[in-house]
Amino acid sequence: LNEKGIQSYSKIVQNFLSKTSGIHISNNRIYFEKDFVEDYINRMRTSYKPEKDNEHFCQRPPWSSLNIADLKTGMIRIATEDDLVKAVKLYEGMGIYNGVPPVVVGTVEPRYRNLFSTKVCLQNSKSFGDPMDISNEKEFEVFIKMFEVVERKPNLLVELIINPLKFNDKKLEFLLRHREEKRISIHIGAGMPCCGSTAPLIFPAAFSLAIAESLAASIFTHLCTGRYPMIEANLGIFDFRYTNYVVGSPEWFLLDMASRRLHSFITGHMSRYGSLLTLAHWPDAHAIHDHTISAILQGLQGARVFSGSGQLSHDEVFNPEIVVIDKDILGAAERLVKGIEWEEDFDRTLGIIYEGLDRGHFLDHDTTLNKFRSFSFMAELFEEMNLDQWRKNGSVPLLKKASKMVDCIVKEYDFKRPKDQIRELERIYQHAIKEL
């Protein structure tokens, strides 16, 4: 940051940053002096207040997907309005709230998809519909009007970095224009550095670059808003066979574990956030494998909140069955992380053994009756039946059980948006597509 700096061609951004001592601009690059950066890191570390501990693992929604893995047809297809309505009802029926549209409706013109998907979410859910992106100020005002109808504020993700070492000038100028905007909430992202393409495939060089980019985004946000967004060093990896940004691979998990160690070093606290990511295109063994390893490895390192539930092919495909399967995966991972309660009283331990020996078993012992439910994780889908029991219960495949569970949750979810708000949202949308 001191020797190479961050590229920015925006005169607005340059003029804003040039007023801060410790930052200087030369040849369209922003340079941060070493003492300034070290002081900022110390102040950021002091201000960092992690959320209150919650030892329960919980699911969070995914980023938007354009496609649906449809078990009824056996095909991956473009998402429809009905798919989006079903998705938001499923999430909220499971107590999972807040986020962008889980799927983006692909049956409308591409330039209206973002706006249309938000409208559908606001009409059918309590909490979904945050914009995936905002292309201009006119569209921004339309989103604001739609959210005002339902008395909510949109949460906008603003990615400030283009890897490697470039500011996203358009996003920085947006943040500068709206930094005091009371009608919205802004969440800052630094970018998606990828080892082998936009970051080195050598360590610790890749992490050094990722931290520098994230730190630059944090500094800019602080100067705009006074907040101290925490820096992260989240790295993907570039696969030269298929030229993809890879998630869910052994290498991705190694990078994730190292990033968590760095987060703990910088903040003094473990990161509470994880993600369920995979490149599997279908809710199959590949997908469940990747989600399970994510839940266990990240959970053992302190993660408790897991985004991406229901997301496949990174963020290209949505599948509702994976959402309910993820619930069992996270429940099992939570049980694993919880561990075993250890009895320290030697005499009590010995006494319990003798009592069981007198009976010839421990089936009705007080410790069995009192502790069985708390000791054993009761899965809803991953039932622990033997073959004969499974056959007597209809030999139902896992994905079929998951589909029935999805349909039941969606059917029982009874939220209804008032009709006058539905009509007003439709009116705003129809007016917008004529004007935009």
Tens-place pLDDT, residues 271-286: 899 999 999 999 999 9
Residue with tokens 């951004």: 13
Question: What is the rounded CA–CA span in Å between residue 125 and residue 288?
Answer: 28
SS (H, E, C) 377-432: CCCCCCCCCCHHHHHHCCCCCHHHHHHHHHHHHHHHCCCCCCHHHHHHHHHHHHHH
Q: Pairing mode, if any, of strands 311-312 and 317-318? A: antiparallel
Tens-place pLDDT, residues 384-412: 899 999 999 999 999 999 999 999 999 99
pLDDT at 53: 63
Whether the pTM exceeds 0.85: the reply is yes
Q: Are 422 and 125 in contact (CB under 8 A)?
A: no
pLDDT at 187: 85
pLDDT at 343: 87
pLDDT at 278: 95
| Residue partners of 195: CB distance under 8 A and separation at least 6 | 201, 206, 235, 236, 237, 238, 255
Q: How many beta carbons lie within 10 A of that of residue 147, not counting itself?
A: 21
- Residue spans of the chain under pLDDT 70: 53
Furthest C-alpha separation in the chain: 85
Q: DSSP state, 273?
A: E
| Residue partners of 337: CB distance under 8 A and separation at least 6 | 57, 296, 299, 300
| Residue partners of 361: CB distance under 8 A and separation at least 6 | none
pLDDT at 418: 95
- Concatenating the DSSP letter of every residue in 351-381 gives HHHHHHHHHT--TT-HHHHHHHHHHS---SS
